[in-house]
Structure 1
């Protein structure tokens, strides 16, 4: 009886959680040839007003998931729900979803205002309502004075703002973005990242964003799903993904990392001792490492490594000497490449601050890091 009640309670909790989700992928799979799966058992719950990014290398399955949500692709298996209703049988134009593409997809023969009016006209809104909504959308992307121009008369950043405004003008509950900033230069791309983030915060619209650019994902997202080979490797907030990667792929795809490879000598559950292939022993946090004798990859962020300058040291569990190979000045910080523990590509990042020791190639220095900052992951 008690077991039955407990099972019923778990089922009720799951039902409540499912009903609170705005959009859901439930065990979704996709194959184009009937043999190879490009998306493998994809599950994701997205809450109303959330900004979720699908991040991964080319061919990892992220864009296919977006196209299935938009209705341009059909799942081979599984279900996609919007507002707790299955939508796999609905054509794209009946899903009420805004879409922003990398190539803008603006009508070149129409003015900016006419481009924005088009999705409202096909929904048979009145002329006055169309005029009001177009003006509001132009103000939203700060292009109030550009309504009479054609796309060819705009810069790339302005065209992308128009594409974003067109996706938002009919006030959809969900907006999908497929690599929308890929054609912009670095400065424009960064500017548009903050612009999209501002619009998302002001409107509270739900957004699903696809990119292979980790900086975009970290800058804008509430949560990020990291894809590789059709499988989500980790789903978490930007901070968690960067600070607490669960496997080697996530660690090396998100941000820069020092990679040290070796064999586990001892594993206590929280900490492990690893003998590197170069012979040194490192104390690390046991995340996805096995027991004694198993191979592991250590992940260590460059900014977590300190240069040690004499004196008593109790903060660094791992201390090694390294030879300076290269020093690159990057304005706010220095990027120094060392030979440490047999690795010629060991990187440290140090702030460009007064009193910091000047380093020169060929110099030998001592570096150190805490065991908690060094994560022992899968081999």
Structure 2
């Protein structure tokens, strides 16, 4: 197989390729869907814009692509303002959720289209299209029409068309949303490997947390038009900065409490229900008397912990047991919550875990994160 040539973007100097400076977006002149966005996108990174519907992530991508104007502020590409430029003059590759392939063109013609528009020589077009067909595992499909392809093959064609003209930046708007779960997960890894191989900057929009955690170098978590936290996937998962991020990224348990002791990096908080005190690490400076949310991941919770193995213990009532294949999921009523979850991995049977029975659980202080309560 021929080795595809890396795009010119990978030869550019390090630094930020895109900058949003105080960008706002409103569609009705009243409500801001993007509110004072300041964001720097690093050259060569895979950045995901993640958030629920209406959070501002897609509007941010559309402004960067040029399909929506900014209401105020500016967007720069390689230090040059692009707010006034139409999409075709920004030199940005784009992959849409519905792929937007030309149905009357063959696979090869679809991939070649950006090169035809730029009036490259026929020999150069043929060489680039050939490299993309190899890279995307589309050999032998150049003469087929999009309707003759599977959803995964159409997605590869759309990505090849976005990459073939060697852009500095590729934008992907939920490109896997229309695919079934197994194919979607397979293509997540394919896109990630292509990104690493070519080194082009990619900005990816999704509402799927698992997809974002799997694919990204960094994730910008959006809510109500603002970035709540921008960090690597591991940091977002283990060190959320706000209640929203803690509750949105992955499955998490929340207990409400009030600080009774505070020290650098840690605290002791009394549960609002009066069921006891919990030791935790803290996301910021804690003040005695301050209300906090205590967050602990289901996989960090131990059933019937041995004496001295955990910092925190709670008793409760088992509400529900669910077998999911690779683990057993327990839902427990404890600490003022009837939706406290823990996961038991391995081959442990759930036969003795009957709903309604008393249950004892525990977790370490380092696995419990205290965040100043937002409500």
TM-score normalised by the chain length of structure 1: 0.91
Whether 1:275 and 2:270 are equivalent positions in the alignment is: yes
2:314 maps to which residue?
320
Instruction: Find 1:303's aligned residue among 288, 299, 303.
Output: 299
State the alpha-carbon separation in 2 of the partners of residues 108 and 88 from structure 1. Answer: 31
2:100 maps to which residue?
105
| Contact kept in structure 2, 1:28 and 1:41, CA below 8 Å | yes
Map 1:237-256 → 2, pairs under 5 A:
237-256=232-251
| Contact kept in structure 2, 1:289 and 1:376, CA below 8 Å | no
TM-score normalised by the chain length of structure 2: 0.91
Shift of 1:136: 1.0
Shift of 1:289: 7.0
Encode CA deviations 1:57-102: one digit per residue, 9 max, x unaligned. 1111111111111111122222111111111111111111000000
1:229 maps to which residue?
224
1:9 maps to which residue?
none
Compared with structure 1, are the counterparts of its residues 33 and 148 closer, same or farther at alpha carbon in structure 2 (3 Å cutoff)?
same
State the alpha-carbon separation in 2 of the partners of residues 269 and 279 from structure 1. Answer: 25
Shift of 1:259: 1.0
Instruction: Find 1:361's aligned residue among 330, 355, 363.
Output: 355
Map 1:167-206 → 2, pairs under 5 A:
167-206=162-201
SS at match of 2:98: coil
State the alpha-carbon separation in 1 of the partners of residues 368 and 305 from structure 2. Answer: 21
State the alpha-carbon separation in 2 of the partners of residues 289 and 269 from structure 1. Answer: 7
2:330 maps to which residue?
336
1:63 maps to which residue?
58
1:116 maps to which residue?
111
Instruction: Find 2:20's aligned residue among 22, 25, 39.
Output: 25
State the alpha-carbon separation in 2 of the partners of residues 358 and 225 from structure 1. Answer: 43
Shift of 1:358: 5.2
Encode CA deviations 1:282-324: one digit per residue, 9 max, x unaligned. 22222257523332211111011112354x31x3111112222
2:287 maps to which residue?
291
State the alpha-carbon separation in 2 of the partners of residues 289 and 262 from structure 1. Answer: 16
2:90 maps to which residue?
95
Point out 4+ residue stretches in structure 1 off by more than 4 angstroms: 354-358
SS at match of 1:267: strand
Instruction: Find 1:151's aligned residue among 146, 165, 188.
Output: 146
State the alpha-carbon separation in 2 of the partners of residues 309 and 246 from structure 1. Answer: 29
Shift of 1:31: 1.6
92-101 or 74-83, larger mean C-alpha shift: 74-83
| Contact kept in structure 2, 1:327 and 1:335, CA below 8 Å | yes
Encode CA deviations 1:34-54: one digit per residue, 9 max, x unaligned. 222111111111121110011
| Contact kept in structure 2, 1:264 and 1:289, CA below 8 Å | no
| Contact kept in structure 2, 1:289 and 1:377, CA below 8 Å | no
- The gaps in structure 1 that reach 5 residues or longer are 1-17
State the alpha-carbon separation in 1 of the partners of residues 53 and 353 from structure 2. Answer: 38
CA RMSD of aligned residues (A): 1.9
Shift of 1:107: 0.7
206-215 or 131-140, larger mean C-alpha shift: 131-140
State the alpha-carbon separation in 2 of the partners of residues 357 and 259 from structure 1. Answer: 27
194-203 or 24-33, larger mean C-alpha shift: 24-33
Compared with structure 1, are the counterparts of its residues 309 and 96 closer, same or farther at alpha carbon in structure 2 (3 Å cutoff)?
closer
State the alpha-carbon separation in 2 of the partners of residues 272 and 67 from structure 1. Answer: 43
SS at match of 1:242: helix
Instruction: Find 1:347's aligned residue among 331, 334, 341.
Output: 341
The count of residues paired between Structure 1 and Structure 2 equals: 360
Compared with structure 1, are the counterparts of its residues 227 and 336 closer, same or farther at alpha carbon in structure 2 (3 Å cutoff)?
same
SS at match of 1:144: coil
- The gaps in structure 2 that reach 5 residues or longer are 1-12
